[in-house]
A and B are shown apart, each in its own frame.
Chain A
Amino acid sequence: MPVVLVLGWAHGHAEARLVEQYSIALQAQAFTAMFILLPVAAALAAWEAGAIRPVTLAKVPNVVGTTRQLFRAIAVVVGLAIACLTACYLTIAGLALPNAAVAVPGFAVMVAACLLGGAVGLVIPRVVAVPVCLTLGYVFMVFPQAWAPYWLRDLNGTYSGCCAVNETLDPRATWAALIFAAALALTALMLASAAKTIAKILASLLLATVALAAAGQVAGAVAPAPVVARHASLICQRADVTTFCVWPEHQTQLGHLLTVGTRVIRSWRIHGLAAPSLFTEGTSTNGAVFGTRSEASSQDLVGALVEAVSPPFPACAATHIYAGETHRQLVGEWLLAASGYGQPATDSVVSHVLRTSRGAQIRWLGMQVRETEKCGSARSAP
């Protein structure tokens, strides 16, 4: 178990390094330790429950029912699994208050998997039950990531697609995993019951189908990542006539952003461009939306501001060949050069434009922006 714990922790830690220091994202990545912990825990539960299989096979009636026997047999494994998952969680996500939407499905699926592993250990011999649980547990945790429909990946209690700093976990993904965990637990109890084996297996298959349908109903619209827009308070600060708003995770960047942003916007104004009065990381109808990250350099911040004021991709770009791509690049190059932070190549189009008058530059820019809205012929189906 210590080896498994280390492997699980290493996996979760590697995933967590890919996301920002955003609490919910770190927590979600910490739970990817389950990719390794869950199959092993289920197999261990099958092994432990297999020890009491002779009692259930003998069909000696007892005061204590099979379900309680199963609970007792796997109690240590469940405790170990929860302890390992908690250890991974705390060391990867930190000591912050757990986000229930992330943590509850993770723990619920882990406990349900142990129950199901134990029930399998009661029904079939240990030598078969253990490899079956290891294999199916691994398939359940890993393969849905590559399967369609997308919501299948939201059922195993890990949300590796959660979350960029402007996103939060979709509650439907939480509910889908909880429904599926409940179905796993019910299936386990059904298998552990005194009913005939064929009846148990048929009932379990029926329950699994109903659970998949119910979870699919809840999570069907959650795609491709289990996230929704984040609605949290932004931290805003004003410099000159421009306000900059960032997520709390980027608060340390705000001073740097104000310095760089003020300089960029002044420079744009000198070139005749009227920059928006609001740059925000949240959603906005009248301001420019940008995104930054912790440890962003000045160049990164300028790039984010350039992208924020660049024309958006037109809707037709999703279905047609995007004819405006080159013009969009030219706009970006001009914005960067005009910001004072970039120098275009000496013989480039933008370099030539920058040598013209302010009015000519703005007219050229307007023409390029209009071209960015155009699409070509429709893309052929793959």
Chain B
Amino acid sequence: MLRFDKVSFAYRRRRNVLIDVSWVVPSGRSVLLGPNGAGKSTLLKIGAGALKSQVGAVTLDGALSSRSSARKTYLRNVSWMPQEIVVLPGMSCRECVAYHAWLKGLGRSASWDAAPALLDIVGLSDRLDEVASSLSGGQRRRLGLAQALVASPKVLLLDEPTAGLDPAQRARFRQTMHDVVARFETSIVVSTHQVDDLVDAFDTVAVMNRGEFVFIGSVADFMHLGDSAGGPLERAEAAYSALVGADV
């Protein structure tokens, strides 16, 4: 289980982006909501080991992410899909996934063999040998997901995975996430500021504002905050507005 314990972080010469944040990432699908600059991406980067918190600790099943002896295990078990998907120039989709598998510590032949199944899970099996840079935006995100899944991580951190995608691509991506949870028993955290489809897509909601959590709870509890509104989307938007207020 991934745990953030009183984590604070500031980029050089700037105000604190995270202030004393504590969160135990639950199993299943969690959505991390918040306006731009709330600290969502920074929290995910710290969780992924790409940044080090100045204060506090991050642990996976009790093992500190910063401890060098446990670092490799941590990095293998926590995968991060950044907003910009890494596509290696001139490489096919299979080569890209195999290379990321090797980066996660798999052997070269095991990486090569694992790639087709992962591309199949994200619906890119027909693009196996196609040059990755020719993929559309939505396909690139799914390729990124396959790259993040290579070591069967315990926790998958997805930073704005549906940003810039059209509704059909977003729906396709959510379906893929659903399949991934079912197959891999992975905890998924998705940072976004889109509140549509919360009920179907996620189990838990966490809302950040100005570097702090302002809400952590089930989707049902979150929706209760917007009870006065009409349909699910309106209720979710109302709940979100109530939590982050003038920062929206």
A: residues with CB less than 8 A from B are: 50-52, 54-55, 58-64, 69, 72
B104 touching A54 by the CB < 8 A rule? Answer: no
CA distance A64 to B89 in the complex (A): 20
Contacts of B80 in A (CB 8 A): 60-61
B88 touching A63 by the CB < 8 A rule? Answer: no
CA distance A54 to B76 in the complex (A): 20
Min CB–CB distance B211 → chain A (angstroms): 21
CA distance A63 to B75 in the complex (A): 6
B105 touching A51 by the CB < 8 A rule? Answer: no
Partner pick for A63 among B89, B99, B103, CB 8 A cutoff: B103
Interchain residue pairs with CB less than 8 A apart (10):
A50-B89, A51-B88, A51-B90, A60-B48, A60-B50, A60-B82, A60-B86, A63-B75, A64-B105, A72-B102
B58 contacts partner chain A, Cβ-Cβ < 8 Å: no
Which of A50, A59, A62, A72 gathers most chain B CB within 10 Å? A62
The 0/1 profile, CB within 8 Å of A marked 1, for residues 64-79 of chain B is 0000000010011000
B50 touching A63 by the CB < 8 A rule? Answer: no
CA distance A59 to B83 in the complex (A): 12
B49: nearest chain-A partner, CB-CB? A61
Asked, given contacts A63-B72, A63-B75, A63-B76, whether A58 binds B86 with beta carbons under 8 Å apart, the answer is yes
B87 contacts partner chain A, Cβ-Cβ < 8 Å: yes
**With A54-B88, A60-B50, A63-B104 given, can you name 20 additional A-B contacts, CB distance below 8 Å?**
A51-B91, A52-B88, A52-B99, A54-B86, A54-B87, A55-B88, A55-B99, A58-B84, A59-B50, A60-B82, A61-B48, A61-B49, A61-B50, A62-B104, A63-B75, A63-B103, A63-B151, A64-B104, A69-B103, A72-B102
Min CB–CB distance B237 → chain A (angstroms): 32
Min CB–CB distance A266 → chain B (angstroms): 76
Interface of B, helix, strand, loop or mixed by DSSP: loop
CA distance A52 to B91 in the complex (A): 10
6 shortest interchain CB distances as A-B pairs = A63-B105, A62-B103, A61-B49, A58-B86, A64-B103, A54-B86
Min CB–CB distance A91 → chain B (angstroms): 33
Contacts of B75 in A (CB 8 A): 61-63
A55 touching B86 by the CB < 8 A rule? Answer: yes
B85: nearest chain-A partner, CB-CB? A58
B90: nearest chain-A partner, CB-CB? A51
Min CB–CB distance A378 → chain B (angstroms): 66
Min CB–CB distance B231 → chain A (angstroms): 38
Which of B48, B87, B89, B105 gathers most chain A CB within 10 Å? B89
Min CB–CB distance B57 → chain A (angstroms): 17
A64 touching B102 by the CB < 8 A rule? Answer: yes
Contacts of A51 in B (CB 8 A): 88-91
Contacts of B99 in A (CB 8 A): 52, 55
B: residues with CB less than 8 A from A are: 48-50, 72, 75-76, 80, 82, 84, 86-91, 99, 102-105, 151
Min CB–CB distance B238 → chain A (angstroms): 36
Contacts of B86 in A (CB 8 A): 54-55, 58, 60
CA distance A62 to B148 in the complex (A): 11
Contacts of A62 in B (CB 8 A): 75, 103-104
CA distance A51 to B91 in the complex (A): 9
A55 touching B103 by the CB < 8 A rule? Answer: yes
B106: nearest chain-A partner, CB-CB? A63
CA distance A228 to B146 in the complex (A): 62
CA distance A211 to B76 in the complex (A): 38
A69: nearest chain-B partner, CB-CB? B103
Contacts of B90 in A (CB 8 A): 51
B76: nearest chain-A partner, CB-CB? A63
CA distance A50 to B91 in the complex (A): 12
Contacts of B84 in A (CB 8 A): 58
CA distance A50 to B88 in the complex (A): 9
A57: nearest chain-B partner, CB-CB? B86
CA distance A64 to B80 in the complex (A): 15
CA distance A64 to B103 in the complex (A): 5
B91: nearest chain-A partner, CB-CB? A51
Contacts of A64 in B (CB 8 A): 102-105
Min CB–CB distance A80 → chain B (angstroms): 18
CA distance A2 to B105 in the complex (A): 35
Contacts of A59 in B (CB 8 A): 50
CA distance A64 to B48 in the complex (A): 15
CA distance A52 to B86 in the complex (A): 9
Contacts of B72 in A (CB 8 A): 63
A61: nearest chain-B partner, CB-CB? B49
Min CB–CB distance B83 → chain A (angstroms): 10
Min CB–CB distance A125 → chain B (angstroms): 10
B45: nearest chain-A partner, CB-CB? A59
Partner pick for A54 among B49, B50, B89, B151, CB 8 A cutoff: B89
Contacts of B104 in A (CB 8 A): 62-64
Contacts of A69 in B (CB 8 A): 103
Contacts of B89 in A (CB 8 A): 50-51, 54
Min CB–CB distance A52 → chain B (angstroms): 6
Min CB–CB distance B11 → chain A (angstroms): 13
Contacts of B82 in A (CB 8 A): 58, 60
Min CB–CB distance B116 → chain A (angstroms): 21
Contacts of A60 in B (CB 8 A): 48, 50, 80, 82, 86
CA distance A51 to B88 in the complex (A): 6
Contacts of B76 in A (CB 8 A): 63
CA distance A69 to B99 in the complex (A): 10
Contacts of B103 in A (CB 8 A): 55, 62-64, 69
CA distance A58 to B104 in the complex (A): 15
Min CB–CB distance B229 → chain A (angstroms): 39
CA distance A58 to B82 in the complex (A): 8
CA distance A50 to B103 in the complex (A): 16
